[in-house]
């Protein structure tokens, strides 16, 4: 793969045009554009292993052909740390039967702060020989190691990495667990957080956050408001978010493990939820809502819920569903700010953000 700057610029402009066209019916302002490094931007990577010539190689498959492996030695779009670790890990499994026996997949997770974790997946139980070799590997590479084998997980070090991101003049620390969602492009994620922080502004009222994940946006946005009610359905992400709130001494957030759809039912008093016991929803003075939904966007009921708020801050990984949601809200809210974040360079995917305010 060649990393030609002119080709990147042309691809980025195509994304800008696509976003502009999708939001044109809503009189959106010109989007702010936040670009990406051309290489070493991806903080996580996953590889299958393929036996050829008597040894295992890192392998990937094209979307068009899932049977023919593409053998690789490095992965330039991945972080410099991943590229440093790839040959070191390969040399380790080549030298150790305990590490290589029935090893079929490898996953890397790294951070801008320099932390790293490697997950090794096996078609066999892990024994004391594996543990001895994996402990030595973790020490040699200065990483955490996770061993996975049919329903079991063995952790050497931590089952998370720690990221540090600068937002609004403050450094926030994030615990990112193995297997949980994290933004893949750390550099662009930091730009995205600063845009959202600036777009929300300082407020004297409360914020509702849906789909909060590990607290990626929750931490900095909480410093802009009186208090936050945040929801997330993934138990792993909820636990990470609670750790992150505690680690960063952010004390004005209440986090509940509910889906956006369930919280909508709770706020509409359709039915009570045990997980909301002790939380007085009527005590909140919500002036704004922040949403970062999955690719499908918000369901119609959740979208209708956001209409109640004067300010809607929306981060989207799918501009088509973003446009569909805005169409539902356009009669009461207008787009006052718009941004494109190039989380996924060299692909057609993009992340975007809009600030909607009541007409």
Q: Binding site residues for S-adenosyl-L-methionine, as ranges?
A: 183, 211, 216, 232, 292
Residue 88 CA to residue 292 CA, distance in Å, equals 37
List the helix and strand counts (H, then E) for the chain. 10, 17
Q: Are 310 and 287 in contact (CB under 8 A)?
A: yes
Task: Give yes or no for residue 307 having a pLDDT over 80.
Answer: yes
For residues 319-328, give the mean pLDDT.
97
Catalytic site residue 261? no
Q: Is 212 a catalytic residue?
A: no
Backbone angles phi, psi at 71, to 5 degrees: -80, 135
Annotated binding site: 183, 211, 216, 232, 292
Helix, strand, coil percentages (3-state) for the chain, rounded to 5, are 35, 30, 35
Q: Tell me the pLDDT band of 271, cut-offs 50, 70 and 90.
A: confident
Alpha-carbon distance of 172 to 194, in angstroms, equals 12
pTM of the complete model: 0.93
Confidence at residue 245, expressed as pLDDT on a 0 to 100 scale: 97
**For residue 56, is pLDDT > 70?**
yes
pLDDT for 1 equals: 63
Task: From the candidates 178, 209, 262, 351, give the one annotated as an active-site residue.
Answer: 351
Which of 11-20, 24-33, 178-187, 323-332 is predicted with the least confidence, judged by mean pLDDT?
178-187
- The catalytically annotated residue of 121, 212, 303, 317 is 317
Task: Inform me whether the pLDDT recorded for 89 exceeds 70.
Answer: yes
Write the pLDDT tens digit of every residue in 143-191.
999 999 998 999 999 999 999 999 999 999 999 999 888 899 999 999 9
What CA–CA distance (Å, rounded) separates 102 from 316? Answer: 39
């Amino acid at each position: 793969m060649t990393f030609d700057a002119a080709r990147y610029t042309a691809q980025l402009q195509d994304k800008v045009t696509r976003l502009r066209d999708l939001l044109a019916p809503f009189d959106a302002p010109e989007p702010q554009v936040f670009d990406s490094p051309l290489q070493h931007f991806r903080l996580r990577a996953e590889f299958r292993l393929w036996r050829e010539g008597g040894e295992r190689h890192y392998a990937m498959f094209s979307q068009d052909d899932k049977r023919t492996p593409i053998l690789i030695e490095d992965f330039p779009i991945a972080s410099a740390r991943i590229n440093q670790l790839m040959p070191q890990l390969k040399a380790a499994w080549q030298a150790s039967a305990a590490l290589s026996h029935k090893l079929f997949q490898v996953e890397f997770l790294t951070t801008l702060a320099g932390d790293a974790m490697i997950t090794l997946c096996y078609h066999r139980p892990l024994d004391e020989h594996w543990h001895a070799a994996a402990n030595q590997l973790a020490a040699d590479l200065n990483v955490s190691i996770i061993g996975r084998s049919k329903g079991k997980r063995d952790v050497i070090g931590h089952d998370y990495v720690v990221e540090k991101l600068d937002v609004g003049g403050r450094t926030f620390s994030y615990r990112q667990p193995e297997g949980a969602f994290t933004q893949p492009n750390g550099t662009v994620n930091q730009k995205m957080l600063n845009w959202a922080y600036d777009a929300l502004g300082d407020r004297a009222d409360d914020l509702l956050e849906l789909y909060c994940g590990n607290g990626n946006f929750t931490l900095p946005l909480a410093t802009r408001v009186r208090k936050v009610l945040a929801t997330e359905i993934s138990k792993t992400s909820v636990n990470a978010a609670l750790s992150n709130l505690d680690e960063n001494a952010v004390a004005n957030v209440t986090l509940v493990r509910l889906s956006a759809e369930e919280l909508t039912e709770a706020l509409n008093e359709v039915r009570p939820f045990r997980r909301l016991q002790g939380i007085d929803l009527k005590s909140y003075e919500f002036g704004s809502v922040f949403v970062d939904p999955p690719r499908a966007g918000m369901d119609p009921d959740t979208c209708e819920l956001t209409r109640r708020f004067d300010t809607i801050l929306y981060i989207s990984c799918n501009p088509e569903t973003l446009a569909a949601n805005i169409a539902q809200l356009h009669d009461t809210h207008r787009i006052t700010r718009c941004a494109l974040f190039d989380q996924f360079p060299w692909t057609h995917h993009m992340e975007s953000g809009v600030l909607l305010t009541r007409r």
